[in-house]
Amino acid sequence: MSRICEVSGKGALVGHMVSHSNRKKLIRQLPNLQTKRFYVPEEDRWVSLRVSAAGLRTIEKRGIYAVVKELGL
């Protein structure tokens, strides 16, 4: 399973870690992913999603039912 948020679509970024001597090392910056279960009262069921912290804020703002409906789950 890839490290991508199911709500916001955030994924890993690639960049350089630059030392004081200006040597560059390639690194991956991974999103802050959490596996969470949400209860959808309109459908009377639980939905398990792998979401980032930004995705959690989106769910709090719009509601879990609107997000699940948009995802087609």
**28-72, pLDDT tens digit by residue?**
999 999 999 999 999 999 999 999 999 999 999 999 999 999 999
If one counts every other C-beta atom within 10 angstroms of the C-beta of residue 51, the result is 23
Counted domains in the chain:
1
What integer is the mean pLDDT of 1-9?
Answer: 91
Instruction: List the CATH number of the domain containing 41.
Output: 2.30.170.40
pTM equals 0.81
* Phi-psi sector, 7: left (phi>0), alpha (psi -120 to 50), beta: alpha
Specify the pLDDT at position 36: 96
pLDDT at 73: 84
All residues at 6 or more sequence positions from 47 whose CB lies less than 8 Å from its CB, including other chains:
37, 38, 39, 40, 64, 68, 73
Helices (H) and strands (E) in the chain, counts: 2, 4
Under 8 Å between Cβ of 12 and 31: yes
- Residue 49 is part of which domain span? 32-73
Residue 62 falls inside a structural domain: yes
